[in-house]
Structure 1
């Protein structure tokens, strides 16, 4: 999941070298934290959170075959 979020985020932002993705596993869920440069935050979130919602949907679909819950957090 980490690689998937990283590829999507790097394709959206102006500073792909500032994209940092960390993955932690808790119980039966995976928490993926996405950090981007301050000026790229709007590009990752999108208007009314549409891009962030789309990223979460794609990751959730990819994780459905593993029967794990995936939480994508966009952190400053």
Structure 2
């Protein structure tokens, strides 16, 4: 999952060096924390959160047997 999120986000942002993805398993939930450069925050979230919602949809579809939670951290 970590590689998938990194690949998607790095293709969207201008500062790919600042993309950091951390995974934490908490029971049946996989928490993914995404950190990007402050200038790229709008690109990752998108208008009205559409880009972030699309990334979450891809994550949910790629892991049907496990709950996935994506947090975008400033």
TM-score over 0.5 (shorter chain): yes
- TM-score normalised to the size of structure 2? 0.98
4+ runs of 1 displaced by more than 2 Å? none
Root-mean-square deviation (CA, aligned residues, Å) is 0.4
What corresponds to 1:57 in structure 2?
A: 57
Give ranges in structure 2 of 5+ residues lacking alignment: none
Q: How many residues align?
A: 74
What corresponds to 1:17 in structure 2?
A: 17
What corresponds to 1:36 in structure 2?
A: 36
Q: Which residue of 46, 70, 74 corresponds with 2:72?
A: 74
Distance 2:71 2:18 in 1: 16
Give ranges in structure 1 of 5+ residues lacking alignment: none
